[in-house]
Amino acid sequence: MKNFLLSIAIATIFLSACTSNPNQKTVQDTALAKKSAVHASSSPINEVINTYLQLKNALATDNDQAAAAAGQTLKTAVEKITPSALNPAQSKIFNEIADDLKEHGEHIGANAGNIKHQREHFEMLSQEIYELAKADGKSGQKLYYDHCPMYNNKKGGNWISETKEIKNPYLGKEMVSCGSIKEELN
Ligand SMILES: [Cu+2]
């Protein structure tokens, strides 16, 4: 009973933290649009990460078509990587997750019209991109590891972002500013 009451209290805190304000959102959207330009980079790992960021931004605006296109691009970007060209830390992680990255890219690419399923793959993909981004520590690109407490019936979900502002790829326009920064990378 005590635990039950505690979880209600926690849920209430999350709910109030995530209440969307339509007026505020418009101002935020404009500010975010100006800041969302993704850094260009020559590193093959960065190409994968930047494609992931495009996918994340598509999901944050509920754009399943753009998400599908980014998913396909991500798969292609992963296929282009030669593991031997990476540094040892990167290539170890890459070899472990390459097949999963391609699978998630493929499923997201094939599921325009089913954004719920795209987001399921995105949640798993985000964990792998997090590990890859950590192994890519010298890229110089500032990234944020964000957390949404509400996704998937409050099991929560994480994602990587290039902006300090929260743009929630799981809840989209409904509650785009819901979430918090867990960790800053690079
Ligand atoms: Cu699938």
Residue 45: per-residue pLDDT: 87
What secondary structure letter does DSSP report for 40?
P
Distance CA(64)–CA(70), nearest Å, equals 10
Ligand 1 ion: nearby residues, β-carbon < 5 Å:
107
pLDDT of residue 103 exceeding 90, the answer is: yes
* pLDDT of amino acid 85: 87
Tell me the per-residue pLDDT of 111-137, one tens digit each, with 9 for 90 and over: 999 999 999 999 999 999 999 998 876
Residue 19 has a pLDDT of: 47
Q: Which two tokens stand for residue 55?
A: 């996918």
Ligand 1 centre to CA of 121 (Å) is 6
CA 53–ligand 1 middle distance (angstroms): 19
* Nearby residues of 66 by Cβ (< 8 Å), 6 or more positions away: 54, 58
Å from CA of 116 to ligand 1 middle: 10
Mean pLDDT, residues 33-44 = 50
